[in-house]
Amino acid sequence: MAHPISAFQAAYISIEVLIALVSVPGNILVIWAVKMNQALRDATFCFIVSLAVADVAVGALVIPLAIIINIGPQTEFYTCLMVACPVLILTESSILALLAIAVDRYLRVKIPVRYKSVVTPRRAAVAIACCWIVSFLVGLTPMFGWNNLNKMQRTQELNGSHTEFVITCQFETVISMEYMVYFNFFVWVLPPLLLMLLIYLEVFNLIRKQLNKKVSSSSNDPQKYYGKELKIAKSLALVLFLFALSWLPLHVLNCITLFCPSCQTPPILTYIAIFLTHGNSAMNPIVYAFRIKKFRTAFLQIWNQYFCCKTNKNATSTAMAETGN
């Protein structure tokens, strides 16, 4: 039986539930907005929907599972492993969605004329499917054998225990720190983040060159196009920055755990790092609402039409037709 929930655990659970209650409706609203607004149907926003799906799953699935792990029930090893793996899948899905968004923005400013013929809806759908397939493969790697089962079995044999192999379900009990650091962080988190940083730097450089080139141009269309691209690129770069800010502390703590076993990490730091990773799923809809006009317009239209009982269809249709960023 699990121990009674302490006051500290109760506070932890309350904060996690609050994060979930913000994350799930917010990201559902993002998906809803893209579905309703024709101006949000290009490839970038399809990738944003993929990111929002992962964030909904964090609030609806990962946070409840994290609460279960925090309570520490007595389970079989692979049952606990199945509880721990979803967060790995969804983290990787978010990273790959952010990478796809960065590549998409790069193509929009690098080949604006050929962009629509290169980034077709079919290719965007294939890219999203590939991102999710890779995410499942990376996240389920511990289920394929890279876990702590052998280590725990050896410990049990050394202790001379021959009872049924039941453990207290904790993340670090079943997930190998070597996997988390060498494979998850050094291969599937850090390199994509660095690559995205380079891509956005190049995007801003290309946009700056185009804006400077078109200052004396008699046509305002190119400058208007790159001006819009600059606004969206800044907003999506902010999403990337918040993701890195939210996830890097936990990975740094994992590195400390692996490379300095004698170092004592204060539990409060671990909890703060966990809150940051889960809270990141609630941040993106807020960024979209304040930074991207298309989303703001769609959010207001949904609110007015479905929650405030406003039925002025002409007004809402006009609002949905706006294409400003």
Gap between the Cα atoms of 256 and 312, Å rounded:
58
- Given a cut of 70, whether residue 34 has pLDDT beyond it is yes
pLDDT category at 98 given cuts 50, 70, 90 is: very high
Whether the per-residue pLDDT at 220 is higher than 90: the answer is no
Q: How many residues does the chain have?
A: 325
CA distance 129 to 132: 5
Return the percentage of the chain with pLDDT > 90, whole number: 69
Contact 290, 238 (CB under 8 A): no
Contact indicator for 293, 324 with CB cutoff of 8 Å: yes
First to last CA, the chain: 54
Q: How many angstroms separate the CA atoms of 73 and 71, rounded?
A: 6
The whole-angstrom separation of Cα 25 and Cα 84 is: 24
**CATH code assigned to 7-309:** 1.20.1070.10
> Quick one: DSSP state of residue 176?
-
- Considering 61-65, 218-222, 317-321, the range whose residues carry the highest mean pLDDT is 61-65
Cα separation, 71 vs 82, in Å, equals: 16
Q: Which residue did the predictor score with more confidence, 215 or 103?
A: 103
User: What letter represents residue 325's amino acid?
Assistant: N
**Residues whose CB is less than 8 angstroms from the CB of residue 129 and which lie 6 or more positions away in sequence, other chains included:** none
Give domain limits for the chain. 7-309
Find, among 270, 317, 276, the residue nearest to 298 by Cα: 317
In contact, 294 and 323? CB cutoff 8 Å: yes
Report, as an integer, the average pLDDT of 149-158: 84
Amino acid at 136: F
Higher local confidence (pLDDT), 292 or 310: 292
Q: Position 68: which residue type?
A: I
Radius of gyration of the chain (CA): 23
Please give the pLDDT value at position 164: 62
pLDDT in tens, 115-148: 999 999 999 999 999 999 999 999 999 999 999 9
Residue that wins the pLDDT comparison between 163 and 52: 52
Give CA separation, 129 vs 106, 123, 136, in Å. Answer: 20, 10, 11
What pTM was estimated for this model as a whole? 0.89
Calculate the average pLDDT of the chain.
Answer: 88
* pLDDT one-digit tens code per residue, 35-61: 988 888 888 899 999 999 999 999 999
pLDDT at 325 over 60: no
